[in-house]
Amino acid sequence: MKPEVVVVGSANLDLVVDVATIPVAGETIHGGDLQRIPGGKGANQAVAAARLGRRVAMVGRVGDDEAGTMLRAAIASAGVDVTELLTTESTASGVALIAVAADGENSIVVSPGANNRLSPADVESAAGALQSAKVTLLQLEVPVEAVTAAVRCATGVVLLTPAPAPRVPLDEDLLSSIDVIVPNQSELATMTGQAQLAASGEVNAEVAVELARVIPAAAAVVTLGSEGAMVVTPDDACHVRAPQVASLDTTAAGDAFCGALADAFVDGADLVAATQWAVKVGAVSTMRYGAQPSLPSRADVENLLTN
């Protein structure tokens, strides 16, 4: 069966430690027991869309190590087609080092490993899937050349999460080919040259609209954490508020959000309606621990928000 959603992106093994607070530069603190959890923005988004009932295929690379075997099995077990999830010999799989604070916030360092070996040729070999999919999901944990190849091949709605936030401006031709860019507040500030705002946490809803309009993508959805998201087009802006939940871990909330946007777009939802669904899915994902283990099914979203 042809996929409805194709994800071109990363797969990482998350090494997660609970901490009381996120350490500052030069600080050493004690943490809880180490946990090994399948993650990576690409894999998370693929699993998120699959858990919501979509036919999903993933294009990416893992290493020929134990982590690669674990990641492939985890993604496949969620129902994602991993035919184009390639194995790179003599290379470690991607790893993310994650500290999760008591308030649910996190700090992440990523070692890309095999993700950095994803090439335009790898993506072009999956052109048939990309051309048949209604939605293509992209991130920046793989080389930008591979992302650009995916944009060229895709014929459906193209969504880009600019994470990690690019320090060098992305090509304007690439950005103008994106249907919806989905940054968080920090990513938005960094990619628009306002890094001081990212550091100060001063990107509120009003500032987000101003910055998002600098980006030449067709539309932007700026995630605002517990405050929901701003939907920004050249002519309008709308604040979509999130349900208030008891948050335990925000690690994959943005990926759950993007998977839900893709889910809604498959059914032809408009941008605001898609975002209204996505803030619910993203909020519910924070109620459970871990990256992929936290990604909810459609029934989970309905049940957890009702209760």
Q: Which residues are catalytic?
A: 255
Nearest to 101 by CA among 248, 276, 279: 248
Number of CB atoms found within 10 A of residue 25's CB: 4
Phi/psi at 59 (5° precision): -115, 120
* Secondary structure class of 188 (helix, strand, coil): helix
- Residue in 174, 238, 180, 167 with CA at minimum distance from that of residue 209: 238
- The residue to which tokens 């690409």 are assigned: 42
CA-closest candidate to residue 266, choices 51, 48, 54: 54
End-to-end CA distance of the chain: 36
Q: What is the DSSP letter of 184?
A: B
Q: Are 226 and 247 in contact (CB under 8 A)?
A: yes
123: CB partners within 8 A, 6+ apart: 8, 59, 130, 146, 149, 150, 153
Entry field: residues in the chain: 307
